[in-house]
Amino acid sequence: MNGVIEDGIAAAMGRAGVPVRTYHQGAVVFVKDDEADCAYVVKTGRVEIREKGRVLESIGPGEIFGEVGMIDRGRRSASAVAIEPTEVHMIDREAFDRLVRGDAEFSLAIMRDLARRLRSMNAHQSPPTGLPLAPGLGGRRSAG
Q: Contact at 8 Å (CB) between 95 and 12?
A: no
3-119 to CATH, choices 3.90.1150.10, 3.40.800.20, 1.10.10.10, 2.60.120.10: 2.60.120.10
What pLDDT is recorded for position 131?
Answer: 61
Nearest to 91 by CA among 104, 110, 77, 108: 110
Give pLDDT tens digits for 91-106: 999 999 999 999 888 8
Give pLDDT tens digits for 122-137: 887 666 566 666 666 5
Query: Residue 143: which pLDDT band, with cuts at 50, 70 and 90?
Result: low
Share of the chain above pLDDT 70, in %: 81
Q: Which helix (H) or strand (E) holds 20?
A: strand 20-23
**pTM, whole model, 2 decimals?**
0.79
Q: Contact at 8 Å (CB) between 102 and 42?
A: no
Give pLDDT tens digits for 13-56: 877 788 999 999 999 999 999 999 999 999 999 999 999 989 99
The domain locations on the chain are 3-119
What's the CA gap between 106 and 91, in Å, rounded? Answer: 12
What's the CA gap between 14 and 76, in Å, rounded? Answer: 26
